[in-house]
Structure 1
Amino acid sequence: MIQDIQVKINEFETIIIHRHERPDPDALGSQMGLAQVIKERFPEKKVLVVGEEEPSLSFLGKMDQVLDHDYEQALVIVCDTANTERVDDKRFTQGAYLIKVDHHPNEEPYGDIVWVDPAFSSTSEMIVEFVIQGKENGYKLSSESALLLYAGIVGDTGRFRYTNTTAETFMRTSLLVKQTFDQNAFYSNLHKKDLKITRLQGYVLQHFQVVENVGVMKLTAEDLTRFQVTSNESSQLVNTFSDVEGLKAWVFFVEDADRIRVRLRSKGPVINGIAAEHHGGGHPMAAGATAYSWEETEDIVSKLIKACQ
């Protein structure tokens, strides 16, 4: 599969890389990390990254301005996106050839080439393996690409604390650490919070509830307005109360326009099936969904409680 992807990269002069909307470090790390790897291997090619900017992760890099005509005879690669509904910038179908690279369960196998492997901790780790297997074809890591891919792995493994962290994850990460990027600066940028986020964090700690073994937090549109925080910015706080003794799972509800964003996390019980029942999906212990009423959120909480039993 990796060899097939490298053949296609050889064939095309323009390569446009997408990822999912409301990006996290793995979405941006794999997208921009792959772009950097290709640019360094083929400096003559036009390699573009597309999608909305995420201010809290702007230290990783910026998106390109991609025009409609750029897609003509272009290779399009979508990273870290399980289904087409979540792809940021719907022009991803306008290229000449489409490749999906992802580590989520393959619920929607779109694309001409589908490289999906949930055994990897992150899509960024997959890109490291792409470079390892492409060494004979001239692919290599640099301090720039290593930083981006490291960010993605750190993000999706919770700084190597989650159960998706394997011996192979550490081996591949060691190749990144051998490059000379500033880890201290990276962590400082990753964990810094605006004053408004810190104040909202205090509010969350005061108002979350524990129902049996499940932690529950509901942020309304009024709450977000009060603290001048966007729905996307609030995602930084999903694990705020995760260390409370006795919790087996927790859920973060955030009202966003005409829907409610649902962020599900678990310390053991499988919860991505619950997400799939509510317009979402994800990993067994980290998933996202969408609810369309506060009554529906109560149904999700009930399902979480049942899963934890």
Structure 2
Amino acid sequence: MIEAIQEKIKEYQTIIIHRHERPDPDALGSQLGLAQLIKELYPEKKVRVVGEEEPSLVFLGNMEQVSDLDYENALVIVCDTANTPRVDDKRFNNGAFLVKIDHHPNEEPYGDLVWVDPSFSSTSEMIVEFVIQGGKHGYSLSPESALLLYAGIVGDTGRFLYDNTTPDTLRRTSLLIEQNFDQTKFYSNLHKKELKMTRLQGYVLQHFSIISEVVGVMKITKDDLEQFQVSSSESSQLVNAFSDVEGLKAWVFFVEDTDKIRVRIRSKGPVINKIAAEHDGGGHPRAAGATAYSWDETEEIIAKLVDACK
């Protein structure tokens, strides 16, 4: 599959790379990292990255303006996105050929070529393997591409604390570190917080609740977001704010948006992506997202989490 994708990249002059909405470090790392790799190998090609920008992660790179005409005869690659409703910029189907690269369970195998492998910690780790296998075609790492892929792996492994960090993950990461990018500067950018986020974190730590001694719950309303001048996407940085509380087996973060409630679920063991799938979402067994359309529905999700923990 890697070989087939590399042949398609060689074939097309215009390549447009997408990823999921409300991007995290892995979405951006895999998208921007793959784009950087292709640009370095094929400087004559037009390689574009699209989607809404996440203010806290713009230090990784910026998105680009792409016209509808650019999609004609273009290769489109979607990174780190399990299902089509979550793809950022809905023009991803307008190209001549579509490739899906993802490490989430393959619930929706969209695209003309599908490379999905949940054994990888992240899509960024998959792109590292893409480089390794593509060495015979001229693919190689640079400090710029290595930094981006490192960001994605760090994000989805929780700085190598989660159990999706395998020996192979660390071996591939070592290849990135060999490129001698500035790790100190990266972590400084990744963890810096605006004052408003620090104040919201204090509010979260004061107001989260624990249900049945095993499930942590935090509900942030539109009024809360307005009070702290924080966006719904920015609040996602705090999903693990109370994760270390003794006894918690799972926790859920509800954030009220314009016409829905965004749901972020995490777990220390119980499988939670099936619960997310029942509420317009999905993800990994221990890290998933969903959507609720009323506060009553959030109570249903909490009850299911309690049952899963029991």
TM-score using structure 1 length: 1.00
d(CA) in 1 for partners of 2:70, 2:208: 47
d(CA) in 1 for partners of 2:82, 2:98: 14
Name 2:161's counterpart in structure 1.
Answer: 161
What SS class does the counterpart of residue 140 from structure 2 fall into? Answer: coil
Tell me, yes or no, if structure 1 residue 123 matches structure 2 residue 117: no
d(CA) in 2 for partners of 1:62, 1:260: 28
What amino acid is aligned across from residue 65 of structure 1 in structure 2? Q
d(CA) in 2 for partners of 1:51, 1:228: 23
d(CA) in 1 for partners of 2:9, 2:241: 41
Which string of whole-angstrom CA distances, capped at 9 and with x for unpartnered residues, describes residues 28-49 of structure 1?
A: 0000000000000101111000
Tell me, yes or no, if structure 1 residue 4 matches structure 2 residue 4: yes
What amino acid is aligned across from residue 297 of structure 1 in structure 2? T
Which string of whole-angstrom CA distances, capped at 9 and with x for unpartnered residues, describes residues 131-178 of structure 1?
A: 000001000000000000000000000000111110000000000000
**Percent of aligned pairs with the same amino acid:** 78
What amino acid is aligned across from residue 200 of structure 1 in structure 2? L
What SS class does the counterpart of residue 242 from structure 1 fall into? Answer: coil
What amino acid is aligned across from residue 236 of structure 2 in structure 1? S
Shift of 1:306: 0.4
Name 2:294's counterpart in structure 1.
Answer: 293
d(CA) in 2 for partners of 1:98, 1:214: 40
User: Would you say how many aligned residue pairs link Structure 1 and Structure 2?
Assistant: 309
Name 1:283's counterpart in structure 2.
Answer: 284
d(CA) in 1 for partners of 2:65, 2:209: 43
Tell me, yes or no, if structure 1 residue 272 matches structure 2 residue 267: no
d(CA) in 2 for partners of 1:229, 1:206: 17
What amino acid is aligned across from residue 227 of structure 1 in structure 2? F
Tell me, yes or no, if structure 1 residue 235 matches structure 2 residue 253: no
Name 1:96's counterpart in structure 2.
Answer: 96
Tell me, yes or no, if structure 1 residue 78 matches structure 2 residue 78: yes
Shift of 1:206: 0.2
Tell me, yes or no, if structure 1 residue 51 matches structure 2 residue 51: yes
What SS class does the counterpart of residue 232 from structure 1 fall into? Answer: helix
Name 2:180's counterpart in structure 1.
Answer: 180
Shift of 1:258: 1.0
Which string of whole-angstrom CA distances, capped at 9 and with x for unpartnered residues, describes residues 61-114 of structure 1?
A: 001111111111000000000000000000110100000000000000000000
d(CA) in 1 for partners of 2:5, 2:73: 16
What amino acid is aligned across from residue 103 of structure 2 in structure 1? H
What SS class does the counterpart of residue 78 from structure 2 fall into? Answer: strand
d(CA) in 1 for partners of 2:280, 2:90: 19
Q: Which runs of 4+ in 1 moved over 4 A?
A: none
What amino acid is aligned across from residue 119 of structure 1 in structure 2? S
d(CA) in 2 for partners of 1:223, 1:65: 33
Once the two structures are superposed, the pairs formed by residues 184-263 of structure 1 within 5 Å of their partners are: 184-212=184-212, 213-263=214-264
Once the two structures are superposed, the pairs formed by residues 13-92 of structure 1 within 5 Å of their partners are: 13-92=13-92
Shift of 1:188: 0.4
d(CA) in 2 for partners of 1:21, 1:304: 25
d(CA) in 1 for partners of 2:211, 2:223: 24
Shift of 1:180: 1.6
d(CA) in 2 for partners of 1:121, 1:180: 22
- RMSD value over aligned CA atoms? 0.4
Shift of 1:14: 0.4
d(CA) in 2 for partners of 1:27, 1:172: 18
d(CA) in 2 for partners of 1:258, 1:53: 21
What SS class does the counterpart of residue 134 from structure 1 fall into? Answer: helix
What SS class does the counterpart of residue 121 from structure 1 fall into? Answer: coil
Shift of 1:186: 0.3
Which string of whole-angstrom CA distances, capped at 9 and with x for unpartnered residues, describes residues 261-283 of structure 1?
A: 00000000000000000000000
What amino acid is aligned across from residue 230 of structure 1 in structure 2? S
What amino acid is aligned across from residue 257 of structure 1 in structure 2? T
What amino acid is aligned across from residue 245 of structure 1 in structure 2? E
What SS class does the counterpart of residue 232 from structure 2 fall into? Answer: coil
d(CA) in 2 for partners of 1:6, 1:58: 28
Name 2:110's counterpart in structure 1.
Answer: 110
What SS class does the counterpart of residue 48 from structure 1 fall into? Answer: strand
